[in-house]
Structures are given as structure tokens and as C-alpha cells.
Structure 1
């Protein structure tokens, strides 16, 4: 039994079913509203998720049948096809493509969930199902927020996704964080989250890294775990920051942290 893979795949199913219901409730005009992703409208977010689902399923199938990942030309052809779709076509095709990917993960038996390794083509080595599904869950959950926040400024990340995403937050934080945004200042931060409750450290020194909670931090950030995840991915504007978020200490401000994590 691979509990992490199982939990992640379950969260992908819940997220898909939820976003599908949201999409089915949108009017045609809603699809061209600005999303939480600054350069995309709602339909373009769905296009990104749908094309990503196609590419992700191809990677999964390549691992299962031993052919490995597709080349870059395949990805480009998928993106071009989705870019050419109308907003309505993107919404409809997203539902179909993402359903296929989720079913692909759900079809994996316990042995495959534990032992299969998937080559994504951009990581140094193939990764297990829990990791590759977790990367998709992070992308899917944050872009679901991008859709929701177009209609509700108080939107939060899907609760079922928060714990597995929190557990893998260190995987990409060095890539997402830009320590140079602090202009040479070096800060060791204690982070306290709720729902779920966690305590750990954020090192903003030579690079951005998660650590054990420092005994004498320069500042202490307290926040709901879902907002912490949104902070790291750049979905942290003041208008979308709940009152429970606090930062104690003179060496750092929330705006400093926002600059460290510009998002994607």
C-alpha cells in the first residue's frame, strides 16, 4: 500500500470532479474573464490544464509500456492544438482530457503505485507515482484557484489537496523562490501553519530552502497552510490574504515575501 500515492490520486479525483462542476456552471462569457493567472483568461487556464493532462497521460503510458517520454515536438503539437481552440472548446476538452489522466492514475494497481517510475523528461531521473501525481496535484490545485478567484476573491485551495501539497512543498521551493529579491539580506524564518498544523523553517540566505524550525528565527510567519502554499506559488496578493496571516519580526515584511515568491 502506497498511502502517499493513494492520497494524492484521491485528491486528483476530487479536484477534477469539483472543477468539472464549476466549468459546467460557467456561461460562455465567463470563460474570457481574467483569471488568477495574470496573463490568462479562464479558458486559457483550462487550456493549460487540459494540454498538461494530455502530456501527463502520455508520460504515464510511456512508463507503463516502456517507451519512455515523448519528445519536445509532441508537447509543442499539443500546445498548438489547444491554443487554436475557442474558449468553449477549451472548457469542454479540458473535462475530457483531465478525466482520462485521472482514470489513468486510478487504474494503477498497488504494485505499480509503489514501484513504477515515470520519466517526465525535465527531471534528472524518473520519479515514483506519488511524486509525479503530486506535481500534477500542485499544478491542478493552484490553477483551479486561478479559475475560482475570477468569481470569488476569497477562494481558497481545495482542502483535500493541502496536506499532500504541504508534504511536498520543499520539492520545488528552491526553483520558485528568488532570494535575490531581498537585496542581500539574510533571513531565517519560522513558519507556523494551521489546517494542518505544522512548524518548520524557511531559509532565505544563499538560496531558498525549507529547514527544521530555527531555535532563534529572525521572524515568525503564521498562516493557514493553504495560504502558505499560495504564497510559494505567487498567489498572495493582499486582496487574497486572510486576516489570520501574521508576520512578527523587524527583518522582513509580507511584501518582501511576495517578492521572494513571484509565482508562475
Structure 2
């Protein structure tokens, strides 16, 4: 199956409500899984280095918990017609979470994320199709599919950060992989670093498994997804979840399965790792 650029983003999706349903279901299953993991962590576990290089496990949970509070406020502002909270609100949330202990981060994450997931689950079909949410950092309000999809990306990758602290072979949740693959092009121009290859243009054919997709990665003046190139400089074959982790910077050799291969003489996996340093 060859995937075109328009199929890789949510924009243009013909059944936004169905897509929103899949994303919200993935947010629920992801929450239930990570909450169970968190409930089994010891005090020492919470201060272990996570898969996010600058944070320990509790700090990842703090980021997810504070993000859930801010996301819930934006969602409530959309449903109530009051709009997004101002920047001072966000700062107050971050300050409160920064002052918490590691154990409070863990407990607070479970409570805050549960509230956000329940609010998404409570949206009826009309809202899932027509509601527009001002997230505060995008130029215009977005639909539920986009807002929930951005949260799913954040949640799935930071859940991986938590679990990678204990198992370097852990993977992204399978329920999240399909929806995230569909939106993979949305932020690529922002998070990809085209200058990492020193102005050397590269066209890579990307073949993913679980699910199977074929498309192109172009690194030139910008980083973008394309249709599968006819004359690719290299062919990357990888599980879809690892492709997503590559784009998100969670791609160290220790976290790269043997099934990932790159053929071609002009670009290496380390080159691609430099293009996607992570966030």
C-alpha cells in the first residue's frame, strides 16, 4: 500500500468522527496501562533516569500530568465557549507541579490524565465532528481529532519514556501506532532539522510494518513526507512504531530493533538520527 502525503495527516480525512473515536480509545487504553505501571513503581523507581534524557520517571509523569490539566482546560474552554486559558494559567499549573514530590507526580498524573480522558470520552458524535479547540500554541482552533491526536502523540512517547527506564526494548503502544502514523506529517517540518545533513538533499523510501505503509522522507531545505520516491537514495524498513520513535528522537541504537534496516550508500541511520534529535 502506497500512502500519499494527504493520507499521512488528519487534514482531509473523510471520517473525522471515526478517527477521533480511534484516538480517544487509544488514549483510554494508554492511560489504563500506564496507570497500572505507575501504581507498581517504588520510590526508587520514580527517580530512575527515563527514556527522556533530561528527566527522571517522576518528571515525565509531571509533564504528562500538567499537560493533562492544561489540555482539559482548553477542552472545557471549547465546550463552554470561554476559549483557551491565558498563559498565566499554564504557568501556574507548571509551578504547582514543579513543587510536587516524585510520589505526588505519580499520583497526580493518574488523577489528572483520567479526568482528561473521561472528558474526551464524554464528547458526543456532534462534538467529535464539529467542536473546535483553541490549544493556545497553534494559529487557529483545531478539531477534536487533531487536538486528541496531538495529546496521543505526547502521551504515547512519554509513556515509552517511562517504560524504557525499565526495559530498553519496549515499544510504543500498538493502539496508538496506527493513529499516530496517520498524523506523522503534521509536525515534521517543525521537529525535523534539515541542516543536520549540511545541505545535502536526501530522498528516503520508508516502508513500515505493523501497519504496512510506503511513503517518502525528503530532507532538503525542509523535512517533509512525500509519496514514495521512484529514485530513492536509501530505503528504510522498520516497524511503524520505531519510525514514529525515530521522528520523536527516541531512536538510540539500544532502542533500535534488529528488524530496522537502511539500504543505500548516501545516508545512514545515524544521519537520520541527527535529522530528528527529539523533543
Instruction: Return the TM-score normalized by structure 2.
Output: 0.94
**Number of the residue aligned with 1:74:** 89
Q: Please, which of 202, 206, 213 is the counterpart of residue 198 of structure 1?
A: 213
Matches within 5 A, 1:160-175: 160-175=175-190
**Are 1:85 and 2:103 counterparts?**
no
**Are 1:231 and 2:246 counterparts?**
yes
Deviation at 1:121, TM superposition (A): 1.0
RMSD over aligned CA atoms reads 0.6
Distance 2:218 2:37 in 1: 38
SS in 1 for 2:117: helix
**Are 1:245 and 2:256 counterparts?**
no
**Are 1:62 and 2:80 counterparts?**
no
Q: Please, which of 125, 149, 169 is the counterpart of residue 164 of structure 2?
A: 149
Deviation at 1:124, TM superposition (A): 1.1
Distance 2:199 2:133 in 1: 39
Distance 1:45 1:121 in 2: 22
| 8 Å Cα contact 2:74-2:85 kept in structure 1 | yes
| 8 Å Cα contact 2:199-2:221 kept in structure 1 | no
| 8 Å Cα contact 2:23-2:179 kept in structure 1 | yes
Deviation at 1:206, TM superposition (A): 1.1
Distance 2:111 2:76 in 1: 17
Distance 2:215 2:135 in 1: 29
Deviation at 1:205, TM superposition (A): 1.1
Distance 2:134 2:186 in 1: 16
Instruction: Return the TM-score normalized by structure 1.
Output: 0.99
Deviation at 1:247, TM superposition (A): 0.5
Distance 1:58 1:108 in 2: 15
* Structure 1: gaps of 5 or more residues: none
**Are 1:27 and 2:7 counterparts?**
no
**Are 1:136 and 2:145 counterparts?**
no
Deviations 1:82-103 (A, max 9, x none): 0000000010010000000000
Deviations 1:236-258 (A, max 9, x none): 00000000000011110000000
SS in 1 for 2:118: helix
SS in 2 for 1:169: coil
**Number of the residue aligned with 1:263:** 278
SS in 1 for 2:249: coil
* Structure 2: gaps of 5 or more residues: 1-14
Distance 1:21 1:81 in 2: 24
Distance 1:258 1:118 in 2: 33
| 8 Å Cα contact 2:242-2:256 kept in structure 1 | yes
**Number of the residue aligned with 1:49:** 64
Q: Which has the higher contact order (CA 8 A, sep 6+)?
A: 2
